Amino acid sequence: MNRTRPGEAVTSVHIADTAVPGAHVVTPEPHTDERGDFFEGLRTDHLEAATGRPFVPRQINYSTSRRNTLRGIHGVAIPPGQAKYVTCVRGALRDIVVDLRVGSPAFGTYATHVLDAASGRAVYVPEGVGHGFLTLTDDTCVCYVLSSVYVPGTQIDINPLDADLALPWGFTEPPLMSRKDATAPGVREAAAAGLLASWQEATRDAHSPVSRKALP
C-alpha cells in the first residue's frame, strides 16, 4: 500500500485477464494518508485499452442482499447486448463469470473471484458472458455499471446450479434464490433454444488492445 503526502494525487490500477476471454478482474491500488484511503473505482481509458472495446456507461444499478444470497447467472441478449463493470461497495461476495457465447473456444469456462469493499476489486463482464455471485456477508451491496439501459424481455437467465456448468459456489448451507433463478434453464437447454449469443455476435466490434504503456 502506498502512502501519499497531503494533497498529492497518485493513482494506479491493475487489470488482469481471466479464464473467460474478454473478462477481466480490476484491482485498484489504494493510497493512504492520515485521513484514510483513496482509490480509483473505474478508469474507462485503462479499461478500454485492456479490453480493446469501448465502454460508455449508460445505467448504474445497485443491489443489497442478505448473506448466502445467490444471484445469477444473468446476461443480456444481443441485440442490444450489455457489458457490465461490477464492484462490491459493502460487504463481500464470491463472483463468477461464465462464457455463454456459442462457438467460443472457452464456452462453459468460468472464472471466480472474491470481491469486497475493502479491496475495491471489480470484474468487467463483456457482452455474451454470464454473471452471478454468492454473498458472504449480510447487507452486501453491489454496484453494476452498465453499457446499455434496461430493455424488457432481453435478459438471459441460466440456472446457477446447472450440473453441466458445475460452478464452484462453495456453499455451506442452501442459498437464498429467487424463483426465477431457481427455475431458469441450464446452459444446454438455453443453447438448444437459441437463447444464447454466438461468439461472432458478442465479439463483432472488437479491435486489438492498445498498449497500456501509451496511456498517460
Per-residue model confidence as pLDDT tens digits over 156-191: 999 999 999 999 999 999 999 999 999 999 999 999
Known catalytic residues? 74, 144
At residue 26, the 3 state secondary structure works out as: strand
Distance CA(115)–CA(89), nearest Å, equals: 9
What is the predicted pLDDT for the residue at 175?
Answer: 98
Of 46, 189, 202, 39, give the one whose Cα is nearest residue 126: 202
Per-residue pLDDT, averaged over 113-129, amounts to: 97
In sequence order, the β-bridge partners of residue 140 are 65
* Lowest mean pLDDT, pick from 32-46, 135-149, 170-184: 32-46
Query: What's the whole-number average pLDDT of the chain?
Result: 91
What is the predicted pLDDT for the residue at 208?
Answer: 42
Residue 141: phi and psi, rounded to 5, are -120, 130
What is the predicted pLDDT for the residue at 204?
Answer: 87
Fold of domain 11-201: Jelly Rolls (2.60.120)
Cell triple for 106 = 472457452
What is the predicted pLDDT for the residue at 1?
Answer: 45
Per-residue pLDDT, averaged over 199-207, amounts to: 82
139 backbone φψ class: left, alpha, beta (φ>0; ψ -120 to 50) = left
Report whether pLDDT(212) > 50.
no
Of 12, 16, 38, give the one whose Cα is nearest residue 26: 16
At 58-79, the pLDDT tens digits run 999 999 999 999 999 999 999 9
What is the predicted pLDDT for the residue at 7?
Answer: 41
Name residue 111's amino acid. A
Residue 46: phi and psi, rounded to 5, are -65, -40
Distance CA(75)–CA(128), nearest Å, equals: 7
At residue 16, the 3 state secondary structure works out as: strand
C-alpha dist (Å) from residue 37 to 16, 111, 114, 152: 23, 28, 20, 39
Q: What percent of the chain has pLDDT over 70?
A: 89
What is the predicted pLDDT for the residue at 206?
Answer: 55
